[in-house]
């Protein structure tokens, strides 16, 4: 967290529940304004009201589904048009595909990889140049302990996608740390949230 008096803004994906909503509260408590994005606009609105009431921070909402390849550009355009500068990017959006690899269609796998991998890299590529230019930036990629432990049958692409995020974060951190941009892979284990309910 930045303890200076400079106004900062954090963009958090998948912010409507779970770890994303928790991040929103933490950053707001530390004086950050927020841009929150998720598929569920009603949940985002509830969270925005709670944060504005509790912390007095400005919250800008962007309803978007990162399974849509055009979503990162839409998010960037809305943020740019609102005159907002992103200092912190939290790539948190994610879900799981239960069952074995062949239980899911290619369209399901494609959408999964779009959310879990491609959108993360896309959003990072869009907001990183500004962080480097301003010599301040924080990127948190929410990975998982699943990206570090031996694989098991089922949820075939989940651990693989999280392993990619960990390696991506490590390499990018080495590239940009000299610019006062810090990249972190967060690797939670089992966490009490809606994640496992959604996955059955």
Question: Which positions are annotated as active-site residues?
Answer: 158
Bridge partners (DSSP) listed for residue 138:
88, 182
User: What is the Cα–Cα distance from 51 to 73, expressed in whole angstroms?
Assistant: 26
User: What is the Cα–Cα distance from 150 to 103, expressed in whole angstroms?
Assistant: 21
How far does CA 23 lie from the centroid of its chain? 10
Is residue 71 exposed (0-12), middle (13-18) or buried (19+ Cβ within 10 Å)?
buried
- Tokens 């309803």 belong to 63
């Amino acid at each position: 967290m930045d303890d200076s008096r400079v106004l900062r803004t954090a963009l958090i994906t998948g912010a409507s529940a779970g770890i994303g909503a928790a991040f929103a509260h933490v950053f707001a408590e530390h004086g950050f304004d927020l841009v929150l994005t998720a598929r569920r606009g009603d949940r985002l609105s509830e969270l925005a009201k709670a944060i504005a009431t509790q912390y007095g921070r400005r919250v800008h909402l962007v309803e978007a589904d990162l399974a849509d390849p055009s979503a990162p550009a839409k998010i960037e355009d809305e943020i740019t048009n609102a005159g907002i500068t992103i200092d912190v990017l939290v790539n948190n959006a994610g879900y799981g595909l239960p069952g074995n690899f062949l239980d899911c269609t290619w369209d399901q796998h494609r959408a999964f990889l779009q959310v879990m991998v491609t959108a993360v890299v896309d959003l990072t590529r869009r907001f990183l140049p500004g962080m480097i230019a301003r010599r301040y930036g924080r990127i948190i990629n929410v990975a998982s302990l699943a990206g570090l432990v031996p694989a098991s049958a089922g949820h075939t692409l989940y651990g693989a996608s999280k392993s990619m995020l960990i390696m991506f974060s490590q390499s990018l951190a080495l590239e940009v740390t000299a610019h006062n941009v810090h990249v972190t892979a967060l690797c939670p284990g089992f966490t009490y949230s809606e994640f496992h309910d959604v996955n059955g």
